[in-house]
Amino acid sequence: MKKAFLLAVAAIVTAAPFAAQAQFAKPEDAIKYRKAAFTVMASHFGRNAPVVRGERPFNAQEAAANAAIVETMSTLPFAAFGPGTDKGDTKAKPEIWTDTAKFNTAKDNMIKAVAEFNAAAKSGNEAAFKAAFGNVGKTCKGCHDDFRKE
């Protein structure tokens, strides 16, 4: 009984570092997943650009619907940067895994800016929405400059 318990604890402790990876059967699946999450996020963020540029009228309901999706998507890709996902069909730079603290800061900055963008969209304040859009764009670009290959 005691031995079985210790074996179970040992198994859990050993498996813990692979917890994030275990969500995906193969590294390719993780890469596909994070790219898909970024694609959906970029679509619902980017479609606001014509509004911000003044080429399309601001529609509070539409802005809020898009921003809510962007916020939901914003945290999802990061469980998919586990070990072994640095190789393959990816533009991810090795620095993600060698300068992880910096990558995590960039990630946190983006998630925070997106939350502020969603709050601004919900408020219906067009000027706040446009300013928050710009702030999110900066965090996208900053992370791409440092951590995504051309």
User: Which residues bind to ligand ASC, rule: CB under 6 A?
Assistant: 42, 45-46, 137, 140-141
Closest distance to ligand ASC from the beta carbon of 19 (Å): 29
Q: Smaller CB distance to ligand ASC: residue 84 or 137?
A: 137
Return d(Cα 33, Cα 40) in angstroms, integer: 11
Closest CB 102 distance from ligand ASC, rounded Å: 18
Whichever of 27 and 77 has its CB closer to ligand ASC, that residue is 77
Residues 6+ apart with CB under 8 A from 109: 139, 142, 143
Burial class (CB in 10 A: 0-12, 13-18, 19+), 131: middle
Pick 27 or 106: Cβ nearer ligand ASC: 106
CB of 97 to ligand ASC, least distance (A): 21
In this complex, which beta carbon is closest to ligand ASC, that of residue 51 or of residue 140? 140
Q: What is the smallest separation between the CB atom of 100 and ligand ASC, expressed in angstroms? A: 21
Nearer to ligand ASC, 33 or 38 (CB): 38
Least distance (Å) between residue 3 CB and ligand ASC: 53
